[in-house]
Amino acid sequence: MPADFSNGYEAIASRFIESRSPDMGATVVAEWSRVLAPGSAVLDLGCGSGAPISQVLADLGFAIHGVDASPSMAAAFAKRFPNAPVECAAVENCSFLNRTFDAIVSWGLFFLLDAGAQRKLIARVSDALRPGGRFLFTAPSQACSWADSLTGLPSVSLGEAAYRIELEAAGLALTGTRLDEGGNHYYLASVTPRTWPPPR
Ligand SMILES: C[S@@+](CC[C@H](N)C(=O)[O-])C[C@H]1O[C@@H](n2cnc3c(N)ncnc32)[C@H](O)[C@@H]1O
């Protein structure tokens, strides 16, 4: 059997897609995107089916791209957005992060990765962002660990203080946080002008 890089989501893909709240995250992401230039290229890491995160961005006219390690999720994204590039790969080694984007969004993915993988991914995200680029991801504000409610697999948040340090080390500044109606916590970051490209 091939290795599962989706952290258990391939096995529950249809259940997740059916039960995913149709608008959770859409308002915060739409508001965040208001600083982006028209037609900006946006990469959605752990995109799932694309609903509602990439959908709201596509509706606003941005050029969306998706990456997901679950073949079923990547196929659902491709079906929803026939003209949008999508890569079925683990974010840890996907090729889309070798390109450059104006913004990167990641809803419900980071905390599925272990702490080391999250740190490496923040660095890769920074490398893939253009000067002035924006980054949004979700994870709890507190450092904590728990079992994912759908897969039972471990989830971990580094917490705001540690994420701030990791972002800064990668050349990104934490510019704000948000909380949505479902209690999901958002980190908003942007490429630090003085330090792009990051000093590594
Ligand atoms: C909680 S779901 C969120 C999906 C989508 N972002 C949304 O807003 O509904 C997490 C997604 O991350 C994907 N995923 C988990 N681990 C991954 C990895 N290492 N690389 C790429 N995708 C991954 C899963 O397949 C799943 O689609």
Q: How confident is the model at residue 158, as a pLDDT?
A: 98
Pairing of strands 144-147, 154-157: antiparallel
Q: How far is the CA of 150 from the centre of ligand 1 (A)?
A: 12
**Cα torsion angle, 49, 40, 180, 126, sign:** positive
Which residues have CB under 6 Å of ligand 1? Answer: 5-7, 9, 20, 25, 46-48, 53, 67-70, 73, 90-92, 107-109, 112-113
- The predicted model gives 140-146 an average pLDDT of 98
> Which atom number of ligand 1 is nearest to the Cα of residue 9?
25
Q: Which CATH class is domain 13-195?
A: alpha beta
Contact 49, 77 (CB under 8 A): yes
Pairing of strands 172-179, 154-157: unpaired
pLDDT exceeds cutoff 80 at 1: no
**Cα torsion angle, 32, 178, 190, 5, sign:** negative
Q: How confident is the model at residue 95, as a pLDDT?
A: 98
Q: How confident is the model at residue 41, as a pLDDT?
A: 98
Q: How confident is the model at residue 45, as a pLDDT?
A: 99
The pTM (predicted TM-score) of the whole model is: 0.96
Contact 41, 65 (CB under 8 A): yes
Q: How confident is the model at residue 39, as a pLDDT?
A: 98
Q: Which residue has the tokens 């980054």?
A: 135
Q: How confident is the model at residue 137, as a pLDDT?
A: 98
Pairing of strands 144-147, 172-179: unpaired
pLDDT in tens, 165-176: 999 999 999 999
pLDDT exceeds cutoff 90 at 91: yes
Give the whole-number percent of the chain exceeding pLDDT 90. Answer: 94
Q: How far is the CA of 194 from the centre of ligand 1 (A)?
A: 32
> Which atom number of ligand 1 is nearest to the Cα of residue 24?
8
Please name the residue whose Cα sits nearest to atom 14 of ligand 1.
6
Q: How confident is the model at residue 71, as a pLDDT?
A: 98
Domain borders along the chain are 13-195
> Which atom number of ligand 1 is nearest to the Cα of residue 47?
6
- The predicted model gives 160-189 an average pLDDT of 97
